[in-house]
Amino acid sequence: MTSDRIKEIQDETAYPESVSVMLALKRVWHETAQSLNDEIKELKQSNTWVLWDNINHREARLQWFLDVDNNCWIDVDPRGVQMSGNVTIKFLPKNHKQYTLLPTPPNQ
């Protein structure tokens, strides 16, 4: 539900400025937001990818993300920029020696 849709619904009612219409729209707005939050939560729970540290044999503590092409990028410095000014977000090739993107963590 968007603000344009709310305005459209208000225009279709006999008393668009009434408290009951406003409360009903607010309730629908919050229900829609809650359902979207639930969907996001489910997606996060279903995402079982982990960045595995092959040297230390544990899940990596680096921030990482996948781009739209499912390429993995890692942030080797949480500040985002080294003292030299170089950006620290790096592409992680599939054959990287230390880090591997795995669907689930291996048994330790």
Q: How does residue 44 score in pLDDT terms, banded at 50, 70 and 90?
A: low
Label residues 35-55 b or e (16+ Cβ within 10 Å = b): eeeeeeeeeeeeeeebbbeee
Q: Where are the domains of the chain?
A: 3-46, 50-102
How does pLDDT run across 53-104, given as a tens digit for each residue? 899 998 888 778 777 777 888 877 666 555 666 666 788 888 888 888 887 6
Total-model pTM: 0.43
Q: What is the rounded CA–CA span in Å between residue 63 and residue 60?
A: 8
Per DSSP, the residues of the chain read --HHHHHHHHHHSS-TT-HHHHHHHHHHHHHHHHHHHHHHHHHHHH---EEEETTTTEE--SEEEE-TT--EEEESSTTSB-TTS-B-EEEE-TT-SSEEEESSPPP-
How does pLDDT run across 15-32, given as a tens digit for each residue? 888 888 888 888 887 787
pLDDT of residue 21: 86
